[in-house]
Amino acid sequence: MSNPLEPVVNPVVDSVVEFVVVEADGGSRGNPGPAGYGAVVLDPATGEVLAERSESIGVETNNVAEYRGLIAGLDAARELGARRVAVRMDSKLVVEQMKGAWQIKHASMRELARQAGVLRRGFDDVSFEWIPRELNKRADRLANEAMDRAAGKPTTAAKPAATRPAAPGARPGAAANLAAAPSWTPPVDTATRLILVRHGSTVHSARRRFSGRNDLPLDDPGRQQAAALAARPFGAVAAVAASPLRRAQETAAAIAAPLGLPLQTVDDLVETDFGEWEGKTMAEVAAADQAALDAWLASPDVAPPGGEPFTAVDVRVLRARDALLSAHAGQTVVVVTHVTPIKVLVRFALDAPPVALYRLHLDTASVSIVDYYVDGNCSVRLVNDTSHLPR
């Protein structure tokens, strides 16, 4: 799997772009009212436009639209492979909140700031600068066009989001519009379906132990579960992808064999690193350090000692999702992974808050399904189905 932070080489000028400028804006007609955002990614050395994002987001406030513009701009920079980003916006509120100078009071703003923070941590460096509106004309124009579309006003045909061609090996921007406004309109395109399979059981499963980066094999019940998964009809499957850990690989191999498909290993689908808690029960962790456990349960930014926070898991799992959607557009992919990555994918598909991670239950060898559409909408079709397993 390619590295999304690998520099992008322009095949025309043969230059490496490691540093980009993101100009972003958003607004609404009425606050709240018909809203939209715009974002532009620029090469600071040449002024070349490397990517544009513009979207109508229904009825929202100015602040929501401005944050959505920032998120879209950072996501476009990530897709281009930039390592360092200079963000320029005419929203003093967003700039100062992202710099940590101003408090974020509203819950909706905190969630959007958290999403921007997840993207931010994927770069080596991100700076924020306030600029006057007259210096933010490109993003302002895109945002106004999006607001006009949200209000139903006729506009000049919107240009599709443009992204400069990446060099061989750089990750293509497949899912640029996954943050699209929700819609009740029936989709007309063919969905890209991810069938999310939790691996079969191991000796840790029955005892409910933290099971992160260990490489335990399936136990006897786990092998029976894998066989039941292999017999389940998944339809026309284009690919089978799996975490590199043994329990996922064994489960995926059982599924791939009758389908006649090779097994694709995706490192970003690995389970959370639970650090010093690996192999312990929740009760054992609580007895040893209740304060550390409470802090971890209270915030997705907190990691277990020596481990990985859920916000870091978000970044890599969404990166894996985007790569799979790009490589298999309009097809079905079976994704064999672990509890946390599946919960992350379901949570983001539902646009649910981080606390949803603690409110979803996934059995071993369970199946969940999410459909993704090219307009950016998605549909959760199934969660934690175990009907294929013997009773």
Helix/strand number for the chain, H first, E second: 11, 13
Whole-number Å distance between alpha carbons of 365 and 218: 11
CB-CB neighbours of 258 under 10 Å: 10
Instruction: Kindly report the three-state secondary structure assignment for every residue of 292-308.
Output: HHHHHHHCCCCCCCCCC
Buried residues in 260-271 as b, exposed as e (16+ CB within 10 A): eeebbebebbbb
The CA-atom distances, in angstroms, between 223 and each of 213, 234, 247, 256, 355 are 20, 19, 10, 14, 32
Q: Which of 23, 199, 250, 328 is catalytic?
A: 199
Residue 380: half-sphere exposure toward Cβ, Cα within 13 Å: 17
Return the closest-CA partner of residue 39 out of 87, 99, 5: 87
Question: Any catalytic annotation for residue 284?
Answer: no
Question: Any catalytic annotation for residue 361?
Answer: no
* Contact between residue 166 and residue 172 where contact means Cβ atoms under 8 Å apart: yes
Whole-number Å distance between alpha carbons of 263 and 137: 48
Q: Which of 271, 308, 328, 338 is catalytic?
A: 271
Q: What is the residue-wise DSSP string for 355-386?
A: GGGGT----TT-EEEEEE-TTS-EEEEEEEE-
Residues 6+ apart with CB under 8 A from 28: 34, 35, 36, 59, 60, 61, 62, 64, 65, 147
Instruction: Kindly report the three-state secondary structure assignment for every residue of 307-356.
Output: CCCHHHHHHHHHHHHHHHHHHCCCCEEEEEECHHHHHHHHHHHHCCCHHH
* Contact between residue 336 and residue 255 where contact means Cβ atoms under 8 Å apart: yes
Whole-number Å distance between alpha carbons of 75 and 88: 15
Q: What is the residue-wise DSSP string for 67-112?
A: HHHHHHHHHHHHHHT-SEEEEEES-HHHHHHHTTSS---SHHHHHH
Q: Is 153 helix (H, G, I), strand (E, B) or coil?
A: coil
Which residues are catalytic, by number?
199, 271
